[in-house]
Structure 1
Amino acid sequence: MNSQDQTNRSRRPVKPRKRRGIPWWAWFFVGLIGLGGLLYGVDLAMSEGKVPRGVTVGGVDISGVDKSQAEQRLRNDLGERTRQPVTVLAGNMSSTIEPAKSGMQVDWGATVDQAGQQPLNPITRIRSFFETREVGIISKITDEGLNRSLNRVERELTRDAENAKLSVGADGKADIKEDKPGQTVDRELLDTEVRENWLNTDGRVNVEATITPADADKDAAERAAKQYVKPATAKNLVFHGRDKVDGVITPQNWHEILTFKVDGGEFMPEWNSEKAQEILSEQLSSTEVEYRDASFEFNGDDITVVPSKDGVEIKWKETLGDLQGKALDKKQRDHEVVYEDKKAEYTTEQAKKAHFDDVVGTFTTGGFSGPSGTNIRRVAEMVNGAIVLPGETFSLNGHTGPRGTAQGFVESGIIIDGHAGKAVGGGISQFATTLYNASYFAGMEDVAHTPHSYYISRYPAGREATVYEGAIDLKFKNPFDTPVRITTDVSGDSVTVRLHGVKQVDVESIPGERTNPTSPKKMELDGDDCSPSSGAPGFTITDTRVVKDLKGKELSRETQRTVYDPQPIVSCK
């Protein structure tokens, strides 16, 4: 190509380029943004001061209303529910809390405030059309009221572990009760859970419990039942007595004999031999013969000997022996009863040699009258004629039994708390002192006697006794090989007690000096039974009893020491 051609080509006219405008879709988006901004502004303006959209409290929608309306709506919809009892669950135990009584309320205003302010983020506002946001309820709790309720709830959610129970039923079968685990709850955790969850929609608060297993569970009970109850109750356990009389422990009897205790997580058997003996004794009693000592019957001056009788008794220790071994032996279910002869301790021959011609001990006291005399006469009647066999112990309380109005006794003087008072049967201590001295000089063995708390002048100092039904007794034992008979005589204001038998000893009483005097205290009493007293000093005294045989040989010498309290000076209001 030549240069001319290039020049011509460069001179050709150039067409102007067409100018492009803003695309339609750009205008569309600009308009959409503008509309969105307008709607955002309108929405924000209309929502000012109102609860944000999509907010719920306890399932109640409070969005789009002002705070006062939201608060009222919550009161209306949730108020009743928040006053209902709350169930607290721990393990398999439960308790309840009444909110009103426990100082638990809802702070409605704070709950609404928790919903927050209107969000400025347009994306958040758009999402609120499609999403909900649950806001928790805020509580207002009084510590004192809640703590009081939680103390109770803690107790009700706590229990000790209970072992399984094993017993033999009346039907002869094992009776097993399941064990119960113990549990405790942590007090701080309980407080936290209740505070945070008492407004749960289901009305329940769950608290974790610490579980403590029982020492002995149901499995242990079942093992013991198989090992002990099953073989023991399989068949009758038979004890063959004399004269073809049998005693039988049936399967139904074992509930009285076989019990269990827990030891080391296992049930260990306890065999009640006494109960087994009781069951068998009722059936075998006809095979025994009760022994009887010789005794005496008096008709005036005539004495008749009631003969002794030898007996036969079952030796229960040897008969029952290894009760567990017998009970668990499935093959050997028959056993022989073991007997022993029981000889009379005081025989007819001994009784025939005895006599009551000698007065071996006697004593007299006096100075009583009125109600005391009535009681002394009555107790003397009850004791008159009593026989104390060789080696036997006589008990005044045991011989007379109750001494109340039904037995003919009346109210009379006694000593109460160191001063004079009254009670039914009062005055009998004078008879006790008389009997004590008669037995003293008869050479009887002192088993039990109690001096008065302060000295009474009509009795020998250091050689007297008081009694009180059920508490203070007078007892003495016959140490000789011959019996003694007690006789009594009440005449006027005096009572005499004599012990009759075979005289074998002479007895002497040697009183000591009164020492260690103590001064009386003053007392002022009221009441109809108050008895004024001028009082008397207390002191200490000894008494020595010397026992000699009939040839004068000393057999024993015993000294007893008695301390008397001062008798108080009593004035009556």
Structure 2
Amino acid sequence: MSSRTHDVHAPRRANRSLFRRLWWLWTLLGVLGIGGVLYATDLVMSEGTVPRGVSVGGVDIGGMSPNQAEVRLRNQLADEVKTPVDVTAGGLETTVDPVTSGLTVDWDATVDQAGEQPKNPITRVTSFWQTREVGTVSHFNDNLVNGTVRRVADDLSQDASNATLAINDQGKADIADDVDGQSVEQDAVDAAIRDNWLNTDHRVSVDADVTRAAVSREEADKVAREVVDKVTSGDLVFAGRDNVEGVLRPADMGRVVTFVPDGDSLRTDWNTEAAKEILTGQLGQTEVEFRNANFEVNGNDLTVIPSQDGVEIDWEKTLDKLQDKLLDTRERHHDVTYNDRKATYTTEMAEKATFDDVMGEFSTDGFASDSGVNIRRVAEQVNGAIVLPGETFSLNGYTGPRGEAQGYVDAGVIQDGHADTAVGGGISQFATTLYNASYFAGMEDVAHTAHSYYISRYPAGREATVYEGAIDLQFKNTFDTPVLIQASADSSSVSVKLRGVRHVDVESIPGAKTNYTDPERIELEGDKCSPSSGSRGFTTTDTRVVRDLSGREVSRNTTTTKYDPSPIVTCKK
């Protein structure tokens, strides 16, 4: 018969063993419970704030409300976003001021891009020690940005510069390096500024398209060796008369020898005029001014101004082949070439001259009082003029400017066929008078211009007009004796006489008036308008017959003059 022994403590030990096996589970459940409470609490308390660990430009805004974050960013990044930005391309650099260029930060959008609080509990836990940098969101004023981009593109672009070569005032080669040119695309500049203006180093880089200079430093160095070194090797001496020398020194060569780009080379230019100017200052004393004899007129008294034979440097021959002379480093001495010029009208001729004969004379009248002021003034200027044998008299050249400063006044003129006024009006009446006096004196007609419209107080086909700087009256004394011009005018008439030795008799043969044309009608307004009945235009001729004093015909010349019709003018009231 068997027996069974019972352990009364076995159930208790089994319970303790089960508890020991499940304690980690209870612990885990406790931790999870506490974590859940903490998660829920953190989730509720951080609702509506910027996620923890978020920073913008190194400024922590995690856990703040959006308003607080914006305020902090504005305060701490204010100077940063206003800092000028350096923009570079190739070898050029310029600066952009964000304030004036329309570059700003959209603070609301910057804070918004940080996002919402994460729901992932792991992310929420790691955010306590991890940080997350988010970028700024820019705002652009397109009008200001576009203007800045254009300016920056200009600043970062430049034309290529050739190497240059010159001779300085010490007679040495002065060389400037060639500089590459470059250009940038405005679109590239725009994108670079918009994307990178808030870089931490405040620098933006743009790619540049580079163009090379045509003339290199190597080319300038080569020309300096081949040209500059030679022309500045020593003084270039020109020996003149009376032991006087003209010298082109190395320091002068910069004016005489210059260099200009020619494709990818430097062309050498040889300035003969500059060399002449330098040498004239030294050799001028070896020249003697040429002067034909002349007369000083003082009323009825004439004093002879003696003639003088001239000595002139023949610069063309002296500076012939200047380039070769400058480049020759061995032969640096040359002779000056002179021309001796004898007076064609000598003192002896002038002392024998007489002005007893009236060679030609003419008078006109019928001018207005204001024109009379100018006629008397020009007569005063021309009276006493001498025209030497072989010389040409120019009315414009002799009087010079005829303006208010010279005593001339506003007076009547014919403008486009009708009356008008201008300073110096009336001078053409003197020109006509002088022209006719020279005509009958047998002077050669070099230049004269008839009026466009016929003026009845002048002989048709035998009159002249002048205009300062444009239309001149010129005649030449072809005789071997001098001519004295006597001119006078009063309130109603002007007279001109050419005095000297009478050589010829002159006859004027007027031609018929033909090819008449009728005037047109025009209407003018203004205080200066003067009504006119107009006149017909026509064509006429004048034949000048010149005979010597024995009656033999020397020449016969016919001049044809066409006059336009003068318009019929009515004035608007």
Distance 1:333 1:149, change over 3 A: same
> In the alignment, which residue of structure 2 is the partner of 1:392?
391
Q: How does 1:111-510 map to 2 (within 5 A)?
A: 111-122=110-121, 124-296=123-295, 308-346=307-345, 356=355, 358-415=357-414, 419-480=418-479, 482-491=481-490, 493-500=492-499, 501-504=501-504, 506-510=506-510
> In the alignment, which residue of structure 1 is the partner of 2:532?
534
Distance 1:29 1:301, change over 3 A: closer
5+ long unaligned stretches in structure 2 = 1-12
5+ long unaligned stretches in structure 1 = 1-17
Q: Is the CA contact 2:517–2:564 (under 8 Å) kept in the aligned structure 1?
A: no
Distance 1:151 1:300, change over 3 A: closer
Distance 1:525 1:492, change over 3 A: closer
Q: What CA deviation, in whole Å up to 9, does each residue of 1:166-212 have, x standing for no partner?
A: 32223333333344333222011111112212222333332222222
Separation (CA, whole Å) in 2 of partners of 1:71 and 1:355:
110
Question: Bigger shift: 551-560 or 368-377?
Answer: 551-560
- 1:350 Cα offset (Å): 6.9
Separation (CA, whole Å) in 1 of partners of 2:299 and 2:32:
142
Q: What CA deviation, in whole Å up to 9, does each residue of 1:406-432 have, x standing for no partner?
A: 544444333456544444433222111
Q: What CA deviation, in whole Å up to 9, does each residue of 1:331-363 have, x standing for no partner?
A: 111111112222334456876887655544332
> In the alignment, which residue of structure 2 is the partner of 1:9?
none
- 1:498 Cα offset (Å): 2.6
Distance 1:345 1:554, change over 3 A: closer
Q: Is the CA contact 1:378–1:409 (under 8 Å) kept in the aligned structure 2?
A: yes
Q: Structure 1: which amino acid aligns with 2:555? A: L
Distance 1:369 1:49, change over 3 A: closer
- 1:277 Cα offset (Å): 1.0
Separation (CA, whole Å) in 2 of partners of 1:258 and 1:54:
74
Q: Is the CA contact 1:520–1:537 (under 8 Å) kept in the aligned structure 2?
A: no
SS in structure 2 at match of 1:292: coil
> In the alignment, which residue of structure 1 is the partner of 2:566?
566
SS in structure 1 at match of 2:204: strand
SS in structure 2 at match of 1:373: helix
Q: Is the CA contact 1:461–1:541 (under 8 Å) kept in the aligned structure 2?
A: no
Q: Is the CA contact 2:418–2:566 (under 8 Å) kept in the aligned structure 1?
A: no
Question: Bigger shift: 300-309 or 46-55?
Answer: 300-309
- 1:243 Cα offset (Å): 1.5
Separation (CA, whole Å) in 1 of partners of 2:568 and 2:168:
63
Question: Bigger shift: 26-35 or 326-335?
Answer: 26-35
Distance 1:570 1:211, change over 3 A: farther
Distance 1:438 1:520, change over 3 A: farther
Distance 1:90 1:423, change over 3 A: same
- 1:571 Cα offset (Å): 4.0
Q: What CA deviation, in whole Å up to 9, does each residue of 1:47-93 have, x standing for no partner?
A: 43322233222222222222222222222222343344444333343
SS in structure 1 at match of 2:75: helix
Question: Bigger shift: 457-466 or 313-322?
Answer: 457-466
Q: Structure 2: which amino acid aligns with 1:67? A: P
Match status 1:516 vs 2:514: no
Q: Is the CA contact 1:524–1:571 (under 8 Å) kept in the aligned structure 2?
A: yes
Separation (CA, whole Å) in 2 of partners of 1:168 and 1:303:
55
Q: Is the CA contact 1:523–1:568 (under 8 Å) kept in the aligned structure 2?
A: no
> In the alignment, which residue of structure 2 is the partner of 1:60?
59
- 1:241 Cα offset (Å): 0.8
Q: How does 1:10-89 map to 2 (within 5 A)?
A: 22=21, 42-89=41-88
Question: Bigger shift: 55-64 or 233-242?
Answer: 55-64
SS in structure 2 at match of 1:486: strand
Separation (CA, whole Å) in 2 of partners of 1:37 and 1:170:
92
Separation (CA, whole Å) in 1 of partners of 2:327 and 2:148:
54
Q: Is the CA contact 1:220–1:266 (under 8 Å) kept in the aligned structure 2?
A: yes
Q: What CA deviation, in whole Å up to 9, does each residue of 1:17-50 have, x standing for no partner?
A: x999749888877877776666555554544332
Separation (CA, whole Å) in 1 of partners of 2:280 and 2:26:
119
Q: Is the CA contact 2:537–2:566 (under 8 Å) kept in the aligned structure 1?
A: yes
Question: Bigger shift: 261-270 or 238-247?
Answer: 261-270
Separation (CA, whole Å) in 2 of partners of 1:521 and 1:405:
32
Q: Is the CA contact 2:523–2:572 (under 8 Å) kept in the aligned structure 1?
A: no
Distance 1:228 1:122, change over 3 A: farther
- 1:240 Cα offset (Å): 0.5
Question: Bigger shift: 349-358 or 312-321?
Answer: 349-358
- 1:396 Cα offset (Å): 0.6
Distance 1:197 1:64, change over 3 A: same
Distance 1:69 1:296, change over 3 A: closer
- 1:304 Cα offset (Å): 7.5
SS in structure 2 at match of 1:79: helix
Separation (CA, whole Å) in 2 of partners of 1:135 and 1:434:
99
Q: Structure 1: which amino acid aligns with 2:438? A: S
SS in structure 2 at match of 1:560: strand
Q: Is the CA contact 2:519–2:534 (under 8 Å) kept in the aligned structure 1?
A: no
SS in structure 2 at match of 1:525: coil
What TM-score, normalized by structure 1, do the two folds share? 0.84
SS in structure 1 at match of 2:169: coil
Q: Is the CA contact 1:319–1:337 (under 8 Å) kept in the aligned structure 2?
A: yes
What TM-score, normalized by structure 2, do the two folds share? 0.84
Q: Structure 1: which amino acid aligns with 2:559? A: T
Separation (CA, whole Å) in 1 of partners of 2:305 and 2:533:
53
Separation (CA, whole Å) in 1 of partners of 2:341 and 2:467:
36
Q: Is the CA contact 1:454–1:538 (under 8 Å) kept in the aligned structure 2?
A: no
Q: How many residues matched?
A: 555
Q: Structure 1: which amino acid aligns with 2:322? A: L
- 1:216 Cα offset (Å): 2.5
